[in-house]
């Protein structure tokens, strides 16, 4: 009986120690979802701040000039966040499109014996998509537009 309790206790300790390691693997797989949740949270906070600004103006806490300045600043921030959300969704769509095309080319290449031709087509398509995606910030990795001089996410100067 003592041996059974010792084995049971050992198994419980092992499970207790292993659980954080198992959870980390699950969290690593959902990093894209984390970015989307983070952007959604920032968006909601910015919207709330815009509503609070209107309330502060109506209650007399802010002057008209202060309200306009803060409103402009928060609207710019909201636009930047919405662009990031759109970029994140487009990146997912682009990746899905690439995967579908690669799968299609791979299947047609194997059935027709055009292995090298298919690989060349895949490489050309990947290069075309990469060139159409724009640039990325060297500091934080956020997608930027070609006309941007500074990163909208971290503020770093773009080369």
159: pLDDT confidence band, cut at 50, 70 and 90? low
pLDDT at 16: 83
Q: Is residue 48 part of a domain?
A: yes
Q: What average pLDDT does the segment 129-145 reach?
A: 67
Q: Is residue 154 part of a domain?
A: no
Helix (H) or strand (E) run with residue 108 in it: helix 64-112
Q: Is residue 157 part of a domain?
A: no
Residue 124: give the domain boundaries: 2-25+35-144
What does pTM read for this prediction? 0.40
Query: Number of structural domains, the chain?
Result: 1
Tens of pLDDT, residue by residue over 47-102, are: 888 899 888 888 888 889 988 998 999 889 988 888 887 777 666 666 677 777 77
Q: Residue 142 gets which letter from DSSP? A: -
pLDDT at 65: 92
Q: Is residue 44 part of a domain?
A: yes
128: pLDDT confidence band, cut at 50, 70 and 90? low
Q: Is residue 150 part of a domain?
A: no
Q: Is residue 156 part of a domain?
A: no
Q: Is residue 86 part of a domain?
A: yes
Res 29 pLDDT > 50? no
pLDDT at 28: 45
Q: Residue length, the chain?
A: 159
Does residue 64 contact residue 57 with C-beta atoms inside 8 Å?
A: yes
Query: Which distant-in-sequence residues (6+ apart) come within 8 Å of 54 by Cβ?
Result: 67
Query: Which distant-in-sequence residues (6+ apart) come within 8 Å of 39 by Cβ?
Result: 81, 84, 85, 88
Sign of CA dihedral 103, 105, 106, 108: positive
Sign of CA dihedral 91, 92, 95, 101: negative
Does residue 49 contact residue 81 with C-beta atoms inside 8 Å?
A: no
DSSP 31-89: HHHHHHHHHHHHHHHHHHHHHHHHHHHHHTSS-HHHHHHHHHHHHHHHHHHHHHHHHHH
Q: Is residue 99 part of a domain?
A: yes
């Amino acid at each position: 009986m003592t041996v059974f309790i010792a084995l049971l206790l050992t198994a419980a300790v092992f499970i207790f120690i292993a659980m954080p390691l198992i959870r980390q693997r699950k969290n690593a797989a959902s990093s894209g979802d984390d970015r989307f949740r983070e952007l959604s949270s920032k968006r909601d906070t910015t919207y709330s701040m815009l509503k609070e600004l209107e309330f502060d103006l109506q209650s007399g806490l802010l002057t008209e000039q202060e309200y306009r300045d803060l409103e402009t600043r928060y609207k710019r921030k909201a636009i930047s966040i919405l662009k990031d959300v759109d970029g994140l969704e487009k990146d997912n769509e682009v990746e899905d499109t690439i995967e579908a095309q690669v799968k299609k080319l791979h299947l047609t290449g194997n059935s027709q014996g055009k292995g090298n031709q298919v690989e060349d087509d895949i490489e050309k398509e990947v290069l075309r998509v990469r060139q159409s995606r724009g640039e990325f910030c060297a500091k934080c990795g956020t997608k930027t537009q070609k006309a941007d001089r500074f990163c909208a996410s971290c503020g770093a100067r773009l080369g």
